[in-house]
């Protein structure tokens, strides 16, 4: 099995045919019988090449006189990634690239060889620039519009710290499911399986582990679930009391809903809503694995709940809003290329509608947490500021933006408000 050939094919689908990285990688894993080592190499090649495509294109540009066929360009980019970032032996990279090219066209090997030899003979192009936007774009491979957009909210040093952190590998983060196990029991199991772990002090039941645990017996039995630390913080901030009535407006995939159920010890009722049937099914399966018994899933657009439910019906509401996802670019490496200013503006419009809908459903004296997995202040603080301006009876009792490099988490915004 030629892993580099498979990787090049996958990269072409992602860069030229609109496929998503994580979905594509899983499709190839399901289609081909790969060893653990082959899967690791395939993942690194695909994710790394896609993540750094702007930088790789910048390095290759002087040696390409005209636009190349997609598959040729992919081979050159993937090879440059191995040389620059993976530090693979140069001669091995070149030979593999030539062989890959010759599989499709016996006349292309010489061209690929010449381009890569030229790249190796010269110093890499200088990325330092007086222009902060151009520098960050080229060094960390972010579209210039996105760099410019974020610089309107963050200082240069903050943004560079974020981009630099996003290039580090994300570790496996778990939440102990207290409906089935205690922290102490899970710590014992982790030791038995020789998993190095660190208890995260930001939350009650979160651990950072050195090995993936998605296929572990602990996960299959519902003793743990995979959930980022900042995501775990959301339910802890809402902290619903036992026996209360809770609404999770945009619940899928259900990890925060299940956490709420654990906090409530399966008492009261949680209504978990989503607009897609397959996500409802996904949530129900997850709840069954985790032993969640107090959740009722509802197929409905969250903006329309107030049309069929009596106003001021809920003691607590969780509104984990659809967002741009700028806080999870560390492990969604193609997200930055799929965003646009227009898509962000459309998302903000949807968020405003959801926030307004949530107000009608919250009891007087009730509490709501509004959260996103983005660092974009237009989707976070500015939304909350406008909401409070329009509803003077809503008061903030907790508000925090979690930056990934500060807490080793996803980028998350969490705001808790009470309706006086």
Whether residue 272 contacts residue 296, with contact meaning beta carbons closer than 8 Å, is answered with yes
Half-sphere exposure of 65 (CA within 13 A, CB side): 4
| Whether 415 is catalytic | no
Q: Give, in degrees to the nearest 5, the angle at Cα 335 between 332 and 337.
A: 140
CA separation for the pair 50, 359 (Å, rounded): 41
* DSSP letter (8 states) at residue 294: S
Strands 224-226 and 412-419: unpaired
The count of other CB atoms within 10 Å of the CB of residue 395 is: 12
Determine the Cα angle at 169 with ends 163 and 170, to 5°.
95
Transcribe 368-385 into DSSP letters: EEEEES---TTTTHHHHH
Active-site residue, from 250, 323, 373, 415: 373
Residues 6+ apart with CB under 8 A from 201: none
**Catalytic residue numbers?**
373
């Amino acid at each position: 099995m030629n892993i580099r050939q498979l990787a090049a094919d996958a990269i072409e689908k992602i860069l030229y045919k609109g496929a998503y990285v994580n979905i594509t990688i899983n499709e190839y894993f399901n289609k081909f019988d790969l060893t653990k080592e082959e899967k690791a190499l395939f993942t690194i090649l695909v994710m790394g090449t896609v993540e750094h495509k702007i930088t790789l294109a910048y390095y290759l540009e002087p040696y390409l006189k005209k636009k190349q066929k997609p598959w040729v360009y992919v081979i050159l980019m993937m090879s440059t990634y191995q040389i620059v970032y993976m530090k693979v032996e140069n001669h091995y990279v070149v030979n593999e690239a030539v062989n890959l090219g010759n599989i499709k066209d016996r006349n292309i090997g010489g061209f690929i060889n010449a381009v890569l030899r030229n790249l190796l003979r010269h110093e890499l192009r200088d990325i330092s620039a007086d222009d902060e936007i151009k520098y960050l774009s080229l060094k960390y491979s972010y579209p210039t519009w996105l760099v410019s957009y974020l610089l309107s909210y963050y200082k240069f040093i903050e943004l560079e710290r974020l981009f630099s952190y996003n290039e580090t590998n994300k570790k496996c983060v778990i939440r102990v499911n207290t409906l089935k196990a205690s922290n102490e029991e899970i710590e014992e199991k982790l030791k038995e399986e020789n998993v190095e772990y660190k208890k995260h002090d930001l939350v009650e039941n979160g651990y950072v582990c050195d090995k993936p645990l998605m296929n572990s017996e602990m996960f299959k039995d519902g003793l743990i679930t995979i959930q980022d630390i900042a995501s775990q913080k959301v339910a802890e901030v809402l902290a619903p009391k036992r026996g209360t009535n809770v609404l999770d407006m945009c619940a899928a995939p259900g990890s925060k809903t299940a956490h709420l159920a654990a906090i409530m010890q399966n008492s009261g009722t949680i209504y978990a809503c989503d607009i897609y049937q397959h996500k409802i099914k996904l949530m129900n399966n997850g709840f069954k694995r985790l032993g969640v018994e107090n959740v009722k899933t509802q197929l409905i657009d969250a903006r329309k709940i107030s049309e069929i439910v009596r106003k001021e019906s809920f003691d607590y509401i969780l509104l984990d809003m659809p967002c741009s996802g700028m806080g999870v670019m560390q492990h969604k490496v193609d997200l930055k290329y799929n965003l646009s200013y227009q898509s962000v503006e459309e998302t903000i419009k949807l968020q405003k509608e959801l926030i307004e809908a949530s107000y009608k459903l919250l009891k007087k004296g009730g509490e709501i947490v509004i959260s996103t997995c983005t660092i974009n202040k237009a989707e976070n603080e500015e939304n909350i500021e406008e909401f409070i301006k329009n509803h003077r009876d809503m008061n903030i009792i907790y508000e925090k933006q979690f930056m990934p490099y500060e807490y080793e988490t996803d980028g998350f915004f969490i705001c808790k408000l009470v309706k006086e």
